[in-house]
Amino acid sequence: MDATDPIRRAIVCTGNSHKVEELALLLDDFVLEPLAAGTKLPPEIGATFLDNARIKAYAGQELHPGSWVIADDSGLSVDALDGAPGVHSARFAGDDATDATNTDLLLQRLDGYAETQLRTARFICVLVAIAPDGTEYLGEGTVEGHIALERSGDAGFGYDPVFIPTGETQSFAELGAEVKARMSHRARAARALSERILQPA
Ligand code: IMP
């Protein structure tokens, strides 16, 4: 199997089932498989999204030598918070953080920043794919927006209920999976990754 094969199986190196679902809608050239339940990935100690995506991808490659592996690292960068929560997005509210406690803390930290232009933010995603021959491919994507004053919507995960993409009036959690598959940071990173795999430099 190489980069010219039409259908490739790939192991997605994440414990987050939402990411596997979103990536499955985005990466048409792959049949995606989750890591076996309970697989432990190393701690995400990198300083950048790329570092952390690589940590997960190479850990997956060790577990599944000879397979394509794909890892994503992503997060939210809020201008008023100097880029936080950034690479700490999943654990913003501490080691036992949940989507709910992370979002509560974010809204609390932005208390006093009432106007939209003071609440600007972006989601960032870096995807790393490693081919069976060890070739590494990267894709990065961002989506600009702002943090709403309160939650709305039930779809998605993480900070989706409070993230309003630029040009929209509803949150990602209201806009839903189809809109996210078109314009999210993960969608853009997936398109960039696919282009690199199909047309390597
Ligand atoms: P990690 O990439 O698994 O380290 O976690 C990224 C964290 O960033 C998630 O737990 C969410 O809190 C947040 N995040 C990343 N992508 C999204 C998204 O598409 N919607 C909402 N939150 C996201």
> Residue 178 belongs to a domain with what CATH number?
3.90.950.10
Please work out whether the CB of residue 123 comes within 6 Å of at least one atom of ligand 1.
yes
Residue of 99, 105, 107, 157 to mutate, ligand 1, most atoms within 8 A of C-beta? 157
The pLDDT of residue 1 is 41
Q: Is 26 inside any structural domain?
A: yes
The pTM is what?
A: 0.93
pLDDT of amino acid 7 = 66
In a mutational test of the pocket of ligand 1, which residue from 81, 89, 164, 179 has the highest number of ligand atoms less than 8 Å from its CB? Answer: 89
Euclidean distance between CA atoms 139 and 1, whole angstroms: 21
State the distance from the centre of ligand 1 to the C-alpha of 1, rounded, in angstroms: 31
β-sheet with 30-34: strand ranges across: 30-34, 8-12, 68-78, 120-130, 136-147, 163-165
- Closest Cα to atom 14, ligand 1: which residue? 75
Other beta carbons within 10 angstroms of residue 171's beta carbon come to 23
Range(s) of the domain holding residue 100: 8-198
Q: Does a structural domain hold residue 73?
A: yes
Single out the residue of 38, 35, 32 nearest to residue 13, CA to CA: 35
User: Is residue 183 within 6 Å of ligand 1 at its C-beta?
Assistant: no
Mutation choice for ligand 1 from 159, 174, 186, CB with most ligand atoms inside 8 A: 159
CA distance 67 to 171: 36
The predicted structure's pLDDT at residue 4: 54
Does some domain include residue 3? no
Residue 134 covered by a domain: yes
Q: Does some domain include residue 2?
A: no
Closest atom of ligand 1 to 92 CA is: 12
How is residue 144 written in tokens? Answer: 């600009």
Q: How far apart are CA 174 and CA 133, in angstroms?
A: 41
Please work out whether the CB of residue 102 comes within 6 Å of at least one atom of ligand 1.
yes
Q: Is the CB of 161 under 6 A from ligand 1?
A: no
Within a domain: residue 121? yes
Q: Is the CB of 184 under 6 A from ligand 1?
A: yes
Q: What pLDDT is stored for residue 15 in this prediction?
A: 84
Catalytic residues: 73
Q: For each of the chain's 201 residues, which pLDDT tens digit applies? A: 455 555 689 999 998 888 898 899 899 889 999 998 889 898 889 999 999 999 999 999 999 999 999 999 999 999 999 999 999 999 999 999 999 999 999 999 999 999 999 999 999 999 999 999 999 999 999 999 999 999 999 999 999 999 999 999 999 999 999 999 999 999 999 999 999 998 866
Q: Let me know if residue 111 belongs to a domain.
A: yes
Examine residue 172 and state whether it is found in any structural domain, yes or no: yes
How many domains are there within the chain?
1
> What per-residue confidence (pLDDT) applies to 3?
52
Angle between helices 172-183 and 17-26 (to 10 degrees): 40
